[in-house]
Amino acid sequence: MIPLYAFRDNSCDPKKCTVKRLERSGLVRVLSKISHIPRNTVLLDPTAPQALSPADCPARSLTALDCSWEVLDTGAVSSWRKRRALPFLVAANPVNFGRPWRLTSVEAFGAALFILGERNQASVVLESQNWGPRFLELNEEPLSLYARANDSSAILEIQKMYL
């Protein structure tokens, strides 16, 4: 089981916040300062130059940036050694259903865990939302291919099939 962290800056709507529900379930530890993020974590950052892949195993922890991208200081996270972007996936959340790249933090955690071989933990995390299991159904084929990839470059080749 991979420990999960989320940096939250409270810029999102608390009624729609998927991380708050995960926190209440005890599945994630929420951090309010970027400086509190563990330095050895795999940081899920859509602006990262490298894609998450099974080569990132074993991951000591996963951290999602649960904040508005308009206010995020990307300079504060650009120094992380293991900054990784998720490959092409389609959202299942009610706000962005069917839209590529528009994942909630719960979907990001679920996808990352699946790619890293932690399928059971991915299912538990996604089940925290009533629409969460639908995310795995919508993305079953690409997630399975990504999980079998050797490295980030292989992930990008697979991703090209969907773009």
**CA distance to 13, 120, 161, per residue, from 2 (Å):** 27, 11, 29
Task: Check residue 14 and give its pLDDT.
Answer: 62
The stretch 128-139 carries a mean pLDDT of: 94
* Residue in the block written with tokens 């999960």: 4
Task: Tell me how far the alpha carbon of residue 162 is from its chain's centroid.
Answer: 19
Q: Specify the higher pLDDT residue, 64 or 81.
A: 64
Task: Check residue 68 and give its pLDDT.
Answer: 59
**CA distance to 57, 80, 95, 155, 163, per residue, from 147 (Å):** 11, 23, 27, 9, 18
Structure tokens at 102: 């528009």
Task: Tell me how far the alpha carbon of residue 129 is from its chain's centroid.
Answer: 15
pLDDT surpasses 60 at 70: no
User: Which strands sit side by side in the sheet containing 4-8, from one edge to the other?
Assistant: 29-31, 4-8, 62-66, 42-44, 83-84
Confidence of residue 153 (pLDDT cuts 50, 70, 90): very high
pLDDT surpasses 90 at 150: yes
pTM: 0.91
In percent, how much of the chain has pLDDT > 70?
88
Q: What is the mean pLDDT of the chain?
A: 88
pLDDT surpasses 60 at 71: no
- Dump pLDDT digits (tens) for 25-42: 899 999 988 888 888 899
Task: Check residue 20 and give its pLDDT.
Answer: 82
pLDDT surpasses 70 at 65: yes
Structure tokens at 95: 């706000």
Task: Check residue 16 and give its pLDDT.
Answer: 66
Residues shown for the chain: 163
- Dump pLDDT digits (tens) for 87-119: 999 999 998 899 998 899 999 999 999 999 999
